Amino acid sequence: MTTVRPRSEDEVLEFLRERGAGRLRAVRLRRNRSTIWSLTKAGTQLNLHRAFAAAPASMLVRFVPIVNDGGLSTNRSRHASRRLSEWPPLGQDLERIRSDATRTGASSSGFGVGPCCATPAQLRYLRRLYRYLNRTRFAGRLPARVPIRLSNRMRSRLGQMVPGEIDGRRRVLEIALNVDLMLAGNGHARLDTLVHEMAHAADWLFDGEVGHGPTWKWWAEWAGCESTACTTGSIRRRRRGAEVTRVPPLPLAARVEVRRGV
């Protein structure tokens, strides 16, 4: 494999702009444990996993359609993202970062690959809710356990599902939910968001697709969640800097399962 000198953020930006990513204004390299890329600032800033600084031109150029499409809105951008996620040096660097985090105790919850603000009681609630929804909405077809966490860093986003591959097999690296969803009054949005992300998990595991394409919409409609990229409703928000420790009640049927030890 050809060794490439790591590029700086400005060099990556220049490379992509020269190849057609004209709307791009900034590139930031990140040392993430799960997220390999994201677009922020109305699609003008590309946040990349640090591994891509040393990616060959044939791999780096795949970010051009992602930038120009504003994410994963077309078949070409989804195909490019899949090829990027399969790049072996990326997987190797992710494993190194996660191993370092494990040794240093950076992920103390043991349940999720990103920073988690959930209490132990909230994690138990999320695990039980996931199991209940997997059985009632997905006929038990999803894995019995997936990494799941609460995030207090999300602003407008309510949730995310991070796809990945381990030993050549598709895996769900994590499902993350906005901690604001745990507030009273957000019950419908909380369930709908989790089912939304579980539909992404099914779409990735069974169809090999990411984004909000036709196969995801099929899973979303089958599972009974809102089949749009973004929710059309609003939710209650916590005060800036406030902690959320509330544990909502489970759906009645799920509470019965817990009492029975299911």
CA dist 191 and 189 (Å) reads: 6
Same domain, 158 and 91: no
Return the bridge partners of 39, or none. 46
Do 248 and 127 sit in the same domain of this protein? yes
**One domain, residues 17 and 128:** no
For residues 125-135, one letter each, b for 16 or more C-beta atoms within 10 angstroms of the residue's C-beta and e for the rest, the string is bbebbbbbbbb
Residue among 248, 247, 202 nearest 225 (CA): 202
pLDDT of 8 strictly over 80: yes
Summarize pLDDT for 15-72 with one digit per residue, the tens.
999 999 999 999 998 877 667 888 888 889 998 888 899 999 999 999 999 999 988 8
| 193 in the same domain as 68 | no
66 and 148, same domain (yes or no): no
User: Mind listing the pLDDT tens digit for each residue in 79-138?
Assistant: 998 888 888 888 787 777 655 544 433 333 333 456 889 999 999 999 999 999 999 999
Give the pLDDT of residue 183.
96
pLDDT at 93: 79
Is residue 184 one of the residues assigned to a domain? yes
Of the two residues 236 and 230, the one the predictor is more confident about is 236
- Per-residue pLDDT tens digits for 140-157: 999 998 999 999 988 888
DSSP label at residue 52: G
**Do 231 and 189 sit in the same domain of this protein?**
yes
The whole-model pTM stands at: 0.61
CATH of the domain at 77: 3.30.2010
Residue 257 has pLDDT above 90, yes or no: no
Average pLDDT, integer, range 216-245: 87
In a domain, 111, yes or no: no
Range of the domain at 84: 9-96
* pLDDT surpassing 70 at residue 261: no
**29-43, 174-188, 222-236, 246-260, range with greatest mean pLDDT:** 174-188
Question: Does residue 90 fall inside a structural domain?
Answer: yes
Q: For residues 174 and 69, state if they share a domain.
A: no
Average pLDDT along the chain: 85
Structure tokens at 33: 């444990």
Residue 165 lies in a domain: yes
Give pLDDT, residue 108: 35
243: in domain? yes
Q: Do 243 and 142 share a domain, yes or no?
A: yes
* 240 in a structural domain: yes
Query: How large is the average pLDDT for residues 207-235?
Result: 86
Same domain, 146 and 230: yes
Question: Looking at residue 42, what is its pLDDT?
Answer: 84
Which three-class secondary structure state does DSSP give residue 184? coil
Q: Crossing angle for the helix pair 252-259 and 120-137, nearest 10 degrees?
A: 110
The alpha carbon of residue 181 and the mean position of all alpha carbons in its chain are separated, in whole angstroms, by: 16
Same domain? 49 vs 151: no
Q: Is residue 239 part of a domain?
A: yes
Same domain (yes/no): 87, 126: no
User: In this structure, is residue 110 part of a structural domain?
Assistant: no
pLDDT score, position 103: 40
Q: How many distinct structural domains can be found in the chain?
A: 2
Q: Which of 52, 81, 96 is the last residue of a domain?
A: 96
Residues 124 and 67 in one domain: no
